Amino acid sequence: MLTKADRVAEAFREFSARNTKQRQAIADGIVALGEAGKAFPAEALLTELRLASPGIGRATVFRAIDKLARLKILDRIDFADGERWYRLCDSPAHHHHLTCRVCHRVVELELCLPKAKIEAIERKERFTIEDHEISLFGLCEKCSKKASPRMAQD
Ligand SMILES: [Zn+2]
Ligand SMILES: [Zn+2]
Ligand SMILES: [Zn+2]
């Protein structure tokens, strides 16, 4: 199985044969954040990359993120508070997410819609369904303890 770093490197090769220094820096930055299992806003990656290479362009970084998201190497995570972050997930296969609306913790879920139900919707609505999204939102254990301190004392 390909590692996260392999998946990113392969995707970068796919969208350009030229492996510029900048592109390598972006790939490394994404892998570093992704290996830690962290989700991140595009802006945070830019800030991180500029520590080492101050000249790196915003458009270049954002374009790379967008392309990786299109290739489904990076998952787009839309949080309940309207923030959009990105994540290099463990599973390269189709999956969904459970997210904490306070600390932005992300859990990968194997849950999906039953195929038969999607096909029934296609027939009924006369649609060709190409893709779908399911997001589960809520409070993680840590954040729900903070939200109700009385429960934490038990
Ligand atoms: Zn994911
Ligand atoms: Zn939380
Ligand atoms: Zn699904």
69 and 75 in contact (C-beta within 8 Å)?
yes
Å from CA of 59 to ligand 1 middle: 24
Architecture of domain 4-153: Orthogonal Bundle (1.10)
Spatial distance between the Cα atoms of 102 and 19, rounded to a whole number of angstroms: 38
Backbone angles phi, psi at 74, to 5 degrees: -100, 140
Residue whose C-alpha is closest to residue 89's, from 145, 33, 46? 33
pLDDT in tens, the chain (154 residues): 788 888 888 888 877 656 678 888 888 999 988 877 889 999 999 999 999 888 889 999 999 999 999 988 999 999 999 999 999 998 889 999 999 999 999 999 999 999 999 999 999 999 999 999 999 999 999 999 988 766 545 4
Polymer length in residues for the chain: 154
Strand-pairing partners, residue 84, are 78
* Residue list, CB under 5 A from ion ligand 2: 100, 102-103, 105, 140, 143
101 and 138 in contact (C-beta within 8 Å)?
yes
Q: pTM (2 decimals)?
A: 0.84
Q: Domain locations in the chain?
A: 4-153
